Amino acid sequence: MDSNGSRAQQPEAGRTMDKPNDRRATQAQKDHFLQLMFGEPHLSTREFNRAPHTRHAEDTYLPLRHSQSSASNRYALPVPSAQAPVRLDSSAHEVMTDLRRVNAVTIDRNLSIDDASHAMQTHGVRALFVVDDTRQVTGIITSTDILGEKLMRFAQQRGIRHGEILVRDIMTPAERLEILDLDAVRSARVGDVIATLRLAGRQHALVVEMNDDDASARTICGIFSLTQIARQLGIPQQQVHDIARTFAEIEAVIAS
């Protein structure tokens, strides 16, 4: 009986109530991810977009469940696993670079691609945010842009040398970037992100948070990298990045 005095509804006799964990396990089957790679994003992601994110009241902090240790307890450190640290049904946050915790590596749009290549090597990244004088993001440049055919074609078309090409010449402009909403990412899985990148034919996707005061303003709070996802799935890193090959290797992991 609830607080209003009415009797709570009981499940019908002989009927087993659905278990959310069982449904989630079913969705995580390999054939689901194979279909997901060439279909639409996970249903729960679309549903989440329609539901507002629940937040605790400001300055309300709740203690976690805890207990007191005793002399009879024994504690051991975990043995590092040789298996992939993440799975396809792991939370998408596990493979997202959180720019609220890690400084974004940026480059000026008027610098050369040699400067961009040096910055990537120095910071150990495969993508740089291209910014203007006010640190507004105007695009993104990746290692594929610098090492791929796109660069060679541009140099031939313009009749210029490699060192004369600027970041702004080959970057992907902001209006063509793949954008994911932070609220959708909160309920997404690694497999959902892979499916999104596969559908868009991209190796990177930005995670943004909307500004309540300005509908046109967005804050980039994270980035997904296909290369990083593959590495965290246990796929050996390629010497020369090939987006098609990376997708093929991820599909092989899904089917295995």
Q: Give the residue from 82, 241, 57 showing the smallest Cα distance to 149.
A: 241
**If you average pLDDT over every residue of the chain, what do you get?**
78
Q: How much is the average pLDDT of 68-85? A: 74
Q: Give the residue from 196, 222, 218 showing the smallest Cα distance to 96.
A: 222
Please tell me the predicted confidence (pLDDT) of residue 121.
Answer: 94
Q: Mention every residue, 6+ apart, whose C-beta is less than 8 A from residue 189.
A: 28, 42, 88, 89, 90, 91, 92
Q: How much is the average pLDDT of 174-184? A: 92
Q: What is the pLDDT of residues 36-59, one digit of tens each?
A: 455 544 444 444 344 444 555 667
Distance in angstroms (rounded) separating the CA atoms of residues 241 and 142: 11
Between residues 136 and 47, the one the model is more confident about: 136
Does residue 78 form part of some domain? no
What's 250's domain CATH number?
A: 3.10.580.10
Please tell me the predicted confidence (pLDDT) of residue 42.
Answer: 45
Does residue 57 form part of some domain? no
User: Does pLDDT of 256 surpass 90?
Assistant: no
Does residue 76 form part of some domain? no
DSSP 148: S
Three-state DSSP state, 107: strand
Q: How much is the average pLDDT of 94-123? A: 94
Overall number of domains in the chain: 1
Label residue 83 by pLDDT band (50, 70, 90): low
> Tokens at residue 202, please?
């991209």
Does residue 114 form part of some domain? yes
Does residue 8 form part of some domain? no
Q: How much is the average pLDDT of 184-193? A: 94
DSSP H or E segment with residue 243: helix 243-255
Can you state the angle between helices 190-200 and 30-38, rounded to 10 degrees?
30
Does residue 19 form part of some domain? no
Between residues 83 and 180, the one the model is more confident about: 180
Please tell me the predicted confidence (pLDDT) of residue 41.
Answer: 46
Q: What is the pLDDT of residues 206-226, one digit of tens each?
A: 999 988 777 778 899 999 998
Please tell me the predicted confidence (pLDDT) of residue 133.
Answer: 87
CA torsion, points 122, 96, 167, 151, in degrees to nearest 10? 100
Q: Give the residue from 201, 189, 212, 142 showing the smallest Cα distance to 170.
A: 142
Instruction: Kindly report the pTM of this predicted structure.
Output: 0.64
Assess contact for 116 and 167: CB atoms under 8 A: yes
- H helices of 89-170, in order, are 113-123, 143-147, 149-158, 167-170
Strand 204-210 and strand 179-181: the pairing is: parallel
Q: Mention every residue, 6+ apart, whose C-beta is less than 8 A from residue 145.
A: 113, 151, 170, 171, 172
Does residue 144 form part of some domain? yes
Domain range for 170 is: 28-46+85-255
Residues in the chain: 256
Does residue 193 form part of some domain? yes
